[in-house]
Structure 1
C-alpha cells in the first residue's frame, strides 16, 4: 500500500469526552494485546498491536486540540457566529489516513464479534458467560479468535466500545465538501489558537459540518 501521507482534517473540540473514550478503547485493546502475547490469535487490524498503535498515534495528534489540553498547547481559539454567539470550536489536525483506516477496520471486527455472540449471555440465570468458541478467522494466519479474549476485552459495554471506535474513525474520515474546505481554509488563515468570527456563509458551512459530526459522535 502506498502511504498517502498526513491529511489535514477538521475536528470538533469535544472537551474531555474524546479523551475518556479513547482511554477506554485503549484499555480494551491492551487486553487483546496481552491475550495475543499469551497465544490468542487475532485478525489483521487487531493483531500485532496494529489498532492499539494506530489509536495512540491518533490521540497524540488529537490531544492538543481537545479541552484543557488545547488550552495548554495554545490551540484553544474560540469560534463565534456572526452574532457573536460562542460555538463549539473546530480545530485543524494532521492525521495519518492509514491509522484511521486501521481503527475503522478494528471497529468492524469488534462489531462482528458482538454479532457473533462472544459476549456474556444476559439471559443466563446465573449471569455467567457462555463461551461460544471461535468467532472469526485471521486473514493472515488463519487461526480462530479466542472468544474468551474478545469477550474480556469488550466487557461490560461492548456495543458502546464498538461505537466509540467507529465514531472516532468516522470523525476523522469525514469526506471533504465545499463546507469543510471553506472552514479549513478560514481556520488555517486565522492561525493557530486565534479567535474567529464566522461570516454568514461560513456559519452555514459550520452548521452543515457539525450536523455531520453529530451523526458520527452525538453530543448530549
Structure 2
C-alpha cells in the first residue's frame, strides 16, 4: 500500500489510542489479580480485550513512524523534469488483519453502549490530542481512527500499482522523478487520500 507523508498527522491519534489501550490492559490485569467482591469484573469488548488491539496499534506505529516527517536525506518525490516537489509517498507492506483491527477498535470505542469509565478515559486522551486549541471528544478521536483505517485500507488501482512500482524501483535515499503518466496517477491517488483523510480539504498543502 501507499502511505503519504502527512507531517506526522496520522501518528497522533494512533499514539493516543496506544495510551488508551495500555490503560485498559492495566485495568484488565488489576481486575484479574484482585477481583472485587462487590463489583462486576471488567469485561472489555473485542478487540479491546486481552491486548489484541494494542498489539495491532503498536505494529502499525512501528511501520508508519518512519514514513512521517521525513528528513531531506530520505529522497524527494519530484514532478517530471524536477519542476517541483510532491509530498513523499512510501510503498509499505501492512497486514490486513492489523488495519481491520484498527477499524474494529474505532467502532468499539465509538459504540453508544461503551462502558462509561472507558468513555471517560477516551475523552481525556481526546482532549489532550486537541492540544488546547479546540475542543475534542471521543467522537472526534474515533472519527480520526476510522479515517486512518480507511486510508490504510485504500483499494489498490492501476494508479497505485504504477506509483508503487516506481517507488520500489528507486534506490533508498535518492530522488524519485515521476514521468507524466506517473504524476497523473499520483494526482488521482492524492485526491482519493485527501477525500478519505480530510473529507476533501485540509491536507492539500501536503499532497500537491
Q: Choose the corresponding residue for 1:79, options 77, 80, 96.
A: 77
- 2:27 is the counterpart of 1:35: yes
Q: Deviations over 1:38-82 (max 9, x none)?
A: 342111111111111101001111111111xx439x6x2211122
Gaps of 5+ in 1: 1-8, 117-134, 136-144
- 1:108-147 counterparts in 2 under 5 A? 108-112=107-111, 116=112, 135=113, 146-147=115-116
- Please say if residues 56 and 101 of structure 2, whose CA atoms lie closer than 8 Å, have aligned partners that are also in contact: yes
2:122 matched residue in structure 1: 153
- After TM superposition, what 4+ stretches of structure 1 lie above 4 angstroms from structure 2? none
**Once superposed, what is the RMSD of the aligned Cα atoms?**
1.9
Q: Distance in 1 between matches of 2:164 and 2:54?
A: 29
How many pairs align? 178
Q: Deviations over 1:170-218 (max 9, x none)?
A: 1211100000000000101113232111111111110111111112222
How does the TM-score come out when normalised to structure 1? 0.74
Q: CA deviation at 1:161?
A: 1.2
Q: Choose the corresponding residue for 1:192, options 140, 160, 172.
A: 172
Q: Distance in 2 between matches of 1:154 and 1:106?
A: 15
Q: CA deviation at 1:94?
A: 1.8
- Please say if residues 11 and 64 of structure 2, whose CA atoms lie closer than 8 Å, have aligned partners that are also in contact: no
Gaps of 5+ in 2: 32-40, 128-136, 204-208
1:119 matched residue in structure 2: none
